[in-house]
Structure 1
Amino acid sequence: MPRKKILELSVDWLSILDPEGNVDESLEPDLDKGTLEKIYRTMVLTRLFDDKALKLQRQGRMLTFASSLGQEATTVGSAFALKPDDWFFPAFREQGVEIARSIPVKLLYIYWMGSEDAYIELPPKNFPIAIPVATQILHAVGAAWAAKIKKENIASIVYFGDGATSEGDFHEGMNFAGVFKTPTVFICQNNQYAISLPRERQTASKTLAQKALAYGFDGIQVDGNDALAVYSATKAALEKARSGGGPTLIECVTYRMGAHTTSDDPTKYRQMAEVEEWKKKDPIKRFQIYLEKKGIWSQDYEDKLIKELTAEIEKAAEEAEAYKPRLENIFKYVYAQMPPSLKEQMDELLAYVSKKTEG
């Protein structure tokens, strides 16, 4: 029998706003002035949050921290496409989504200062930060599958980096999502490095988006420094998911401007010339120019915004540092109903601490 081609696949690229702030009007999403301002505000707040966190860590007032500097368009742009009822599963670099989802900045600082009490007050449908690479992918697919079984008109969204695509959990989650057509949107923040490992050493694939095709669903590559493109791609993927069309993998091509975490030194494995080139594609600056052309942004607007958000950040950090973790929370929030053995341990510890305090 002659050899013949039985399958031909392709991956689309989406960019709406170029680095100079010029927009492709044929693709421009229909967002009102208020929403555009909220997107910009959230991107700026995310960057200020990161800057303060870095300073706190360097002063010994915070633990190891993972910055999202340079990736604000990916996190914030996608977050604005979500509905409150959609499930959100972060990795450890999704501050922009968390802030957009109305998670108080104070709680984020409390978490990075080492207290899991921050999770107690999380709004519904928002999962905790996942430090182990790719584990949250399985959780997101499971939640989406449950929603599908229950016939709920919602989707789940999960975030991870390019390095996570080499993990087994990524492939297991993708395979399950494809087979069962779960309403899951996979957001890969391809920031070019998995700690020190460059993208080209991560996989031989031309794109990460094409990995979705092997599992029977759509993959798209998006300019991750273009908030409009990320928003549009995510909105389309979420609408498809909620209507029964199955999952989508969105590869957001962006760049990690800072270190992997505060314990990393990126000068050991990448050149400053590379960083400088990516600075020209700064997602916030790009969106700022776009808003200026629409008559929304001005220097006076910026000055007032920075003053307002800086005060918000300082207040949140101050409240986080003043927070005192509660011992009983070591035992709570694991079981729906605390078993007697665990309650006995909690009572014993609290009694011991109370006695020591009185003494």
Structure 2
Amino acid sequence: MSTLQRDPSDQVQILDDEGNVLEGATVPDLDDETLVSMYQNMTLARRFDQRAVSLQRQGRMGTYPPLSGQEGAQIGSVMALEDEDWMFPSYREHGAALIRGLPLKQTLLYWMGHEDGNKPPEDVNIFTASVPIATQVLHATGAAWASKLKGENKAFICYFGDGATSEGDFHEGLNFAGVFNTPNIFFCNNNQWAISVPRERQTAAKTIAQKAVAYGFEGVQVDGMDPLAVYKVTKDAVDKAKDPQGKLRPTLIEAVQYRFGAHTTADDPTVYRDDDEVEHWKKKDPIPRLEKYLRGEGLLDDEKVEAIEQEIEDDVAEAIAEAEAVPRPSPDEIFSHVFEEMPARVRAQWEDFEQLREMYGDEKLLEE
């Protein structure tokens, strides 16, 4: 039976919390180098996240959305894509974006307020970050439909949180994809909390994956903190989206996981969740889980882990230095990238801004 033909409530899992392969589970056919790369990329995403939060706390960067706890879902899924495939992120896929070719420097610049940080390199198939909830679902569906009409053979993965499934854009995008058989993978990062709203206030459905049934295609729920399981279900979904017989079908993947930190650095999660809940989920941490498996397979040891950590430390430090060396953006760029022609209400705001600039200067405005 195909992974994607199972009951959506039957969660796919390969590794247990201790990194052991579950009885009857099949490890994806990945070579040793790829498996170690998966671990290294997850560890890099975690270290970058820690430094980014620190930068924000030091006033060196604006509000930032942490990803710690979600590395297994991000890296495991994005590594299942092929070069020609497309990725449509929300605002938290920093690790996945790096694997697709968006440099860490770009991600830092974006959260430092530089519009250039939201401009992927020309040869990188990744859409710009989407902060509005669920709007990227429509973008991904439209792009996938256009690709199908052009006769291309590409898959389009779209990331969003459990809160996005409460939005009309989610329904419209998935309904359209089901009707027109678009080559989409809708990847829901169900991290249990939509800011401070718990998952059970998003839907009365037993799973988010089962929502796919209403749209006429298949859904699968996976342990989102098991990178090998995430890779497997995403690879199956990519193959379905690029079926050589032309029977393209979308897939909804619900990756059950947890964000260890705040929704953003402007959020205080201690207000709405307790420490016992966090500690429960930290026992499922995807990084030590994969590390234990790789050590058991003889692919990692203390010396190799230390070398990886040192390389990561150097890479993150270099990215931060490069980003902070870029001159700060002009404050009037706030008005430059929304409308082709500035509407009257925005022009009035811009004129007020110009008066403040004349009074105080750019540096003072940036400090404020």
Settle same-fold status: TM greater than 0.5.
Answer: yes
Cα offset for 1:55?
A: 0.3
Does the 8 Å contact 2:120/2:128 carry over to 1?
Answer: no
* Counterpart AA for 1:98: A
Going from structure 1 to structure 2, the CA distance change for 1:51 and 1:326 (only over 3 Å counts) comes to closer
Give 1:51's aligned residue: 50
Give 2:37's aligned residue: 38
CA distance in 2, matches of 1:105, 1:62: 14
Matches within 5 A, 1:1-359: 10-11=7-8, 12-24=10-22, 26-122=25-121, 123-243=123-243, 244-324=247-327
CA deviation profile, 1:315-347 (whole Å, cap 9, x unmatched): 100110111267798899999xx99xxxxxxxx
Cα offset for 1:299?
A: 1.7
Aligned-pair Cα RMSD in Å: 2.3
Does the 8 Å contact 1:107/1:118 carry over to 2?
Answer: yes
CA distance in 2, matches of 1:149, 1:330: 36
Does the 8 Å contact 2:218/2:250 carry over to 1?
Answer: yes
Going from structure 1 to structure 2, the CA distance change for 1:199 and 1:322 (only over 3 Å counts) comes to same
* Counterpart AA for 2:321: E
Cα offset for 1:85?
A: 1.0
* Counterpart AA for 1:118: G
Which segment drifts farther, 237-246 or 287-296? 237-246
- Please state whether the residue corresponding to 2:119 is helix, strand or coil: helix
Does the 8 Å contact 2:113/2:329 carry over to 1?
Answer: no
- Please state whether the residue corresponding to 1:292 is helix, strand or coil: helix
Does the 8 Å contact 1:47/1:72 carry over to 2?
Answer: yes
Which segment drifts farther, 66-75 or 120-129? 120-129
Which segment drifts farther, 129-138 or 317-326? 317-326
Does the 8 Å contact 1:117/1:329 carry over to 2?
Answer: no
Cα offset for 1:301?
A: 1.4
Give 1:346's aligned residue: none
CA distance in 1, matches of 2:211, 2:231: 21
* Counterpart AA for 2:141: V
Cα offset for 1:250?
A: 0.3
Going from structure 1 to structure 2, the CA distance change for 1:334 and 1:147 (only over 3 Å counts) comes to farther
Q: What is the aligned residue count? A: 334
CA distance in 2, matches of 1:86, 1:320: 28
- Please state whether the residue corresponding to 1:14 is helix, strand or coil: coil
Going from structure 1 to structure 2, the CA distance change for 1:166 and 1:331 (only over 3 Å counts) comes to closer
CA distance in 2, matches of 1:326, 1:207: 44
CA distance in 1, matches of 2:228, 2:120: 31
- Please state whether the residue corresponding to 1:160 is helix, strand or coil: strand
Does the 8 Å contact 1:117/1:325 carry over to 2?
Answer: no
CA distance in 1, matches of 2:197, 2:333: 38
Cα offset for 1:136?
A: 0.3
Where in structure 1 are there 5+ consecutive unaligned residues?
1-8, 340-348, 350-355
- Please state whether the residue corresponding to 1:262 is helix, strand or coil: coil
Going from structure 1 to structure 2, the CA distance change for 1:212 and 1:55 (only over 3 Å counts) comes to same
CA distance in 1, matches of 2:190, 2:120: 30
Cα offset for 1:304?
A: 1.4
Give 1:353's aligned residue: none
CA distance in 2, matches of 1:35, 1:160: 26
Identity of aligned residues (%): 53
* Counterpart AA for 2:289: R
CA distance in 1, matches of 2:210, 2:335: 44
TM-score (norm 1): 0.88
TM-score (norm 2): 0.86
* Counterpart AA for 1:251: E
- Please state whether the residue corresponding to 2:11 is helix, strand or coil: strand
Cα offset for 1:121?
A: 4.4
- Please state whether the residue corresponding to 1:154 is helix, strand or coil: coil
Does the 8 Å contact 1:87/1:143 carry over to 2?
Answer: no
Going from structure 1 to structure 2, the CA distance change for 1:332 and 1:201 (only over 3 Å counts) comes to closer
CA distance in 1, matches of 2:160, 2:283: 24
Cα offset for 1:53?
A: 0.3
* Counterpart AA for 2:128: P
Going from structure 1 to structure 2, the CA distance change for 1:152 and 1:93 (only over 3 Å counts) comes to same
CA deviation profile, 1:1-24 (whole Å, cap 9, x unmatched): xxxxxxxx9423210111111114
Does the 8 Å contact 1:212/1:249 carry over to 2?
Answer: yes
* Counterpart AA for 2:37: K
Where in structure 2 are there 5+ consecutive unaligned residues?
1-5, 342-353, 355-360, 362-368
